[in-house]
């Protein structure tokens, strides 16, 4: 049994084109979605299986893909014209539709090369303003260096309070001396710079450290369940000097900077979930229209018709949430609650769709490669890649806590 779903060189029809209406989106955003989709079809689709199924290695960072994203001008989308960006009216909407389109073929690439690089690192430098923004953002736009965003540590990630954070910066002449360990840091095996959260006295600060400085050591990449092209590793800082000019924003204002970038990153994780969920949906619904049992297509059984109708509804809800959050952000509103909702809905929907898509496709869904017919199947990778969305950039329980605080107030929720 073969299907277009099994061949990474062809693609099943996109259900989103017929089920989902872009009518509420600004024309600018629709154009960017088309541009990003054309890029993903051309660059990611032919190598998606290799990207998503190759285990992590120190030399596995895909500089070719990183360079292609930069050369296509996709790193221009989030930022203003003064730093080489496009100066869009709706930069967050543009950024998130790019994230969804990249995730359609590779959630790991979308998370590492767009959510981490453009939203977390670029977003932090953008809001920092001053010299750091002027000096480093044009280089991010041109794809001159890979960067990391580091808040997590071996003993702290959900809890980013000064009491929990162990990475410490102490005063030195003209700057700070940094000591500590950051864990799970995306892109760190390839990164030239890292924006990191550290303790300065009894407060937290964000600083930009040079990964090539003596005293910075990066471990071998972690071996993970999924998102293989998203390389993560420990970074150890031993007496690393950070000049005063590399403090992001104000000394002691670090947590606020980190949390505002993470708020945008959460919408990004929602968009990643929508992208991979759409791909799983497209692959499975294409396959079950052709695969027959008892002489009739699997799709002719009402069980699967209802199941996929429900999942399509969930997917549309998840997409609408991240787009609405982005729109509110671009209009200057407070998008934090929508960002938490979008993150939870996008990540949970991706996990649900991946599980059901595999069930509907049976063994073909469970397989990565069928040796006898040399078929490559993508659902196994999507199933592995989906899970982390529920955990990182603030576990979903924390997002629900944020929403609950809005409902009940902090006196009750804590
Ligand atoms: C692939 C990958 C990439 C990553 N990239 C980065 C990166 O680039 N930079 C970075 O700084 N970090 C990164 N991380 C770390 C990631 O953000 C953390 O794993 C995440 O924040 C959760 O923290 P933790 O794993 O320490 O879990 P913990 O904080 O130990 O929490 C474990 C679980 O406890 C539960 N929990 C926690 N608090 C509550 C609560 N109040 N109520 C109910 N349940 C709760 C949640 O279910 C949570 O999943 C990455 C991780 C992975 C796996």
Q: How confident is the model at residue 7 (pLDDT cuts 50, 70, 90)?
A: low
Q: How confident is the model at residue 17 (pLDDT cuts 50, 70, 90)?
A: confident
Q: How confident is the model at residue 120 (pLDDT cuts 50, 70, 90)?
A: very high
CATH 1.20.140.10, the chain: domain bounds: 255-413
Q: How confident is the model at residue 254 (pLDDT cuts 50, 70, 90)?
A: confident
**Index of the ligand 1 atom closest to the CA of residue 197:** 11
- What are the angstrom distances between the C-alpha of 100 and each of 135, 303, 334, 402, 408? 29, 29, 22, 24, 32
CA of 394 to the centre of ligand 1 (A): 6
Q: How confident is the model at residue 9 (pLDDT cuts 50, 70, 90)?
A: very low
3-class SS of residue 411: helix
User: pTM for this one?
Assistant: 0.96
Write the CATH number of the domain with boundaries 255-413: 1.20.140.10
CA of 180 to the centre of ligand 1 (A): 18
Q: What is the pLDDT of residue 3?
A: 46
Indicate which residue's Cα is closest to atom 28 of ligand 1.
Answer: 158
Testing ligand 1's pocket by substitution, the residue of 395, 402, 403, 404 carrying the most ligand atoms inside 8 A of its CB is: 395
Provide residues with CB under 6 Å of ligand 1: 116, 148-152, 157-158, 184-186, 224, 227, 230, 232, 388, 391-393, 395, 397-398, 401
Range with lowest mean pLDDT among 120-129, 138-147, 292-301, 388-397: 120-129
Mean pLDDT of the 78-85 span: 97
**Index of the ligand 1 atom closest to the CA of residue 187:** 8
Q: How confident is the model at residue 23 (pLDDT cuts 50, 70, 90)?
A: confident
CATH 2.40.110.10, the chain: domain bounds: 149-254
3-class SS of residue 284: helix
Domain 4-146 in CATH 3.30.565.10? The answer is no
Average pLDDT, the chain: 95
User: 């471990």: which residue's tokens?
Assistant: 219
The residues near 267 (Cβ < 8 Å, ≥ 6 apart) are 92, 96, 322, 325, 326, 329, 335, 338, 339, 342, 343
pLDDT in tens, 332-375: 999 999 999 999 999 999 999 999 999 999 999 999 999 999 99
Distance of CA 203 to the CA centre of its chain: 28
- Residues 87 and 178: their CA atoms lie apart, in Å, by 35
CATH 1.10.540.10, the chain: domain bounds: 4-146
Architecture of domain 149-254: Beta Barrel (2.40)
Mean pLDDT of the 244-269 span: 91
Parallel, antiparallel, or unpaired: how do β-strands 216-218 and 292-293 relate? unpaired
CA of 120 to the centre of ligand 1 (A): 16
Mean pLDDT of the 196-209 span: 96
């Amino acid at each position: 049994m073969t299907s277009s779903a099994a061949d990474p060189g062809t693609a099943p029809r996109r259900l989103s084109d017929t089920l989902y209406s872009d009518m509420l989106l600004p024309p600018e955003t629709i154009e960017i979605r088309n541009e990003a989709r054309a890029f993903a079809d051309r660059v990611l689709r032919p190598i998606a299986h290799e990207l998503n199924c190759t285990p992590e290695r120190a030399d596995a960072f895909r500089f070719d893909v990183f360079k292609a994203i930069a050369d296509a001008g996709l790193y221009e989308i989030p930022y203003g014209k003064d730093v080489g960006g496009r100066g869009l009216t709706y930069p967050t909407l543009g950024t998130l539709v790019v994230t969804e389109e990249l995730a359609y073929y590779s959630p790991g690439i979308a998370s590492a090369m767009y959510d981490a690089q453009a939203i977390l690192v670029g977003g932090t430098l953008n809001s920092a303003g001053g010299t750091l923004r002027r000096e480093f953002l044009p280089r991010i736009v041109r794809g001159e260096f890979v960067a990391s965003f580091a808040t997590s540590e071996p003993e702290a990630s959900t809890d980013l309070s000064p009491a929990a954070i162990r990475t410490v910066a102490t005063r030195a002449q003209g700057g700070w001396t940094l000591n500590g360990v950051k864990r799970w840091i995306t892109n760190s095996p390839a990164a030239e710079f890292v924006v990191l959260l550290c303790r300065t006295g009894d407060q937290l600060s964000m600083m930009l450290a040079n990964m090539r400085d003596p005293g910075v050591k990066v471990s071998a990449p972690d071996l993970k369940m999924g998102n293989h092209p998203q390389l993560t590793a420990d970074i150890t800082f031993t007496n690393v000097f950070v000049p005063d000019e590399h403090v992001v924003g104000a000394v002691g204002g670090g947590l606020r900077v980190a949390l505002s970038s993470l708020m945008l990153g959460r919408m990004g994780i929602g968009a990643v979930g929508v992208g991979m969920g759409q791909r799983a949906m497209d692959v499975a619904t294409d396959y079950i229209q052709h695969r027959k049992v008892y002489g009739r297509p699997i799709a002719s059984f009402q069980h699967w018709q209802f199941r996929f109708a429900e999942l399509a509804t969930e997917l549309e809800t998840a997409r609408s949430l991240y787009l609405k959050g982005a729109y509110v952000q671009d209009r200057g509103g407070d998008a934090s609650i929508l960002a938490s909702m979008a993150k939870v809905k996008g990540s949970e929907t991706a996990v649900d769709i991946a599980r059901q898509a595999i069930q509907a496709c049976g063994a073909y869904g469970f397989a990565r490669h069928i040796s006898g017919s040399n078929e490559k199947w993508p659902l196994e990778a999507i199933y592995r890649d989906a899970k982390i969305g529920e955990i990182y950039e603030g576990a979903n329980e924390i997002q629900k806590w944020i929403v609950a605080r809005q409902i009940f107030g902090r006196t009750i929720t804590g």
